[in-house]
């Protein structure tokens, strides 16, 4: 029986955000395409016209979160008018604030990376998982991890530049950058919009905390 045509009134991004909500509530293994489809008033069959599999949908969730973060942080990192301290403050603040507005996607960036790495398509050449589909997924997954590494590298580069200029104390820039981004994404796990602090306040606290740990204090500069 032929699948129903995709519902053009539902955008791919709406589906991706619904998938992120489902993943946060149930985790990857327990989330079904039927559950995701119901959240956007589609049949599971219609959902497959938008996304080839749950693995592709998971990848789309992670891609959306990463690309939105890159779009907001990259211009700050490239702004030559800013000092390294100003860049780092703005980069941390902007990324954390972005996570507070997309908490389900932030949570997926913490909990579902392993699921992405362990994507299982079944036997190659099967009727549901042809070679071209598998290769498409692998290429997109590899691209995601390359883009994620590039995003992390922007933070590392600013830290290294700040150490060279004397703004930041000497640290392991790679480890600090990883710690920063891990903490930022974990905001998606615990932040509640109805909680005692706003996203803006959380972003300010986290940027202050990380900058305090990096900045050379006056006594060290004498």
Q: Could you tell me where in the chain the CATH 1.10.10.60 domains are found? A: 1-51
| pLDDT tens, position by position, 44-72 | 889 998 999 999 999 999 999 999 999 99
The set of residues, in sequence order, having a beta carbon less than 8 Å from that of 110 and lying 6+ positions away, is: 182, 185, 186, 188, 189
Query: Which CATH architecture best describes the domain 65-221?
Result: Orthogonal Bundle (1.10)
Q: What is the CATH number of domain 1-51?
A: 1.10.10.60
Distance in angstroms (rounded) separating the CA atoms of residues 193 and 100:
8
pTM of the full structure: 0.87
pLDDT per residue over 84-126, tens digit each? 999 999 999 999 999 999 999 999 999 999 999 887 665 443 3
């Amino acid at each position: 029986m032929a699948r129903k045509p995709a519902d053009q009134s539902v955008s791919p991004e709406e589906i991706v955000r619904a998938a992120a909500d489902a993943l946060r509530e149930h985790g990857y293994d327990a989330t079904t395409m039927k559950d995701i489809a119901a959240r956007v008033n589609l049949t599971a069959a219609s959902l497959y016209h938008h996304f080839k599999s749950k693995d592709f949908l998971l990848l789309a969730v992670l891609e959306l979160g990463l690309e939105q973060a890159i779009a907001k942080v990259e211009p700050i990192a490239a702004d030559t008018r800013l000092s390294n301290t100003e860049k780092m403050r703005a980069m941390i603040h902007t990324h954390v604030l972005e996570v507070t507005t997309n908490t389900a996607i932030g949570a997926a960036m913490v909990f579902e990376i392993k699921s992405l790495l362990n994507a299982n398509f079944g036997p190659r050449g099967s009727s549901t998982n042809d070679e071209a589909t598998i290769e498409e997924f692998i290429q997109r997954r590899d691209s995601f991890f390359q883009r994620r590494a590039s995003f992390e590298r922007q933070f590392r580069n600013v830290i290294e530049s700040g150490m060279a200029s004397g703004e930041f104390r000497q640290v392991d820039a790679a480890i600090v950058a990883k710690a920063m981004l891990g903490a930022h994404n974990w905001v998606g796990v615990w932040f509640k919009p109805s909680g005692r602090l706003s996203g803006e306040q959380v972003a300010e606290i986290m940027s202050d905390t990380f900058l305090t740990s990096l900045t050379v204090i006056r006594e060290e500069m004498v």
